[in-house]
Amino acid sequence: MEQEHEISFAELIVRRGAELLEAASDGDDTDPDEAADAGPVDAMARLLATVAITDGPLVIHMEGGGHTDIFEEAAGITVGGPGDKVTTLAEARQPERAVVFEFDPVGQLAGSRAVVAVVRPEDRHDLLEAYVAVGRLRGNAAELTVAPVTVRLDARALGHTLDLIGPVGRTSVNAIGAAMAHASQTRVLPGQDASDVPPVVIDLCWHAFCLSAVRARRTPDAGPVSPTIH
């Protein structure tokens, strides 16, 4: 799919984070309580900019870029059978501390641009957390909205659960749902209200984990790659 947007919303987020970190290092007198309440956009921006500086590399994969096969395969898995999807999710791995996927969502969010950052909160490659942003163009202005929740997936736990319950874990929708619920956690960002988060936002997190799994499947022995945008 060709990229319809002339700008990268992922780059906008990282640039915003760099500005926030620079302001902090320059001794900006912003009140700490105000910084904590700055909102999920700045929280995500700070996180990605910090990762890029301290734990790099920060890799950005863009739909319409050099890895369209990853996006095409993950899209097929997302809309395919639940058995194939849960098996794929159990394979999710990521050697880098953070990888950002930018793509065109469908359904309710069609016409916007999704930016999902998959972050490793610990040293384990199979424990991942997804942060979601949605970007839109209003005339010449770019607008960003970041979801007030994150989803954490323990792919190792999911794999163990599937092994324990056997074939039913690939065929029973109820068993698959229970296994995914057991291996995941939805977390509200500090100071945010998550009472009206639409299900489509959570779906974007799961799609990002499918992207991570497909990426890992294609490069099973790869270590972290150089900072880049694809």
The pLDDT tens digits of the residues spanning 29-70 come to 554 444 445 578 898 999 999 998 888 778 999 998 878 899
**Sequence letter at residue 210:** C
16-25, 137-146, 161-170 — most confident range = 161-170
- Provide mean pLDDT across the span 68-93: 95
Q: What is the pLDDT of residue 28?
A: 59
Q: Interior CA angle at 119 toward 146 and 147, to 5°?
A: 15
Structure token digits, residue 218: 């294609």
* Nearest one of 192, 196, 205 to 150, comparing CA atoms: 205
Range scoring the smallest mean pLDDT among 172-181, 191-200, 216-225: 216-225
When the pLDDT of each residue in the chain is averaged and rounded to a whole number, the result is 86
Q: What pLDDT is recorded for position 36?
A: 46
pLDDT score, position 1: 34
Q: How confident is residue 223, by pLDDT bands cut at 50, 70 and 90?
A: low
Burial 143-158 (b: 16+ CB within 10 A, else e): ebebbbbbbbbbbbbb
pTM of the model: 0.86
230: pLDDT strictly greater than 50: no
Alpha-carbon distances of 40 from 13, 88, 154, rounded to whole Å: 11, 29, 23
Average pLDDT over residues 132-140: 86
- What pLDDT is attached to residue 219? 77
pLDDT at 115 (0 to 100): 95
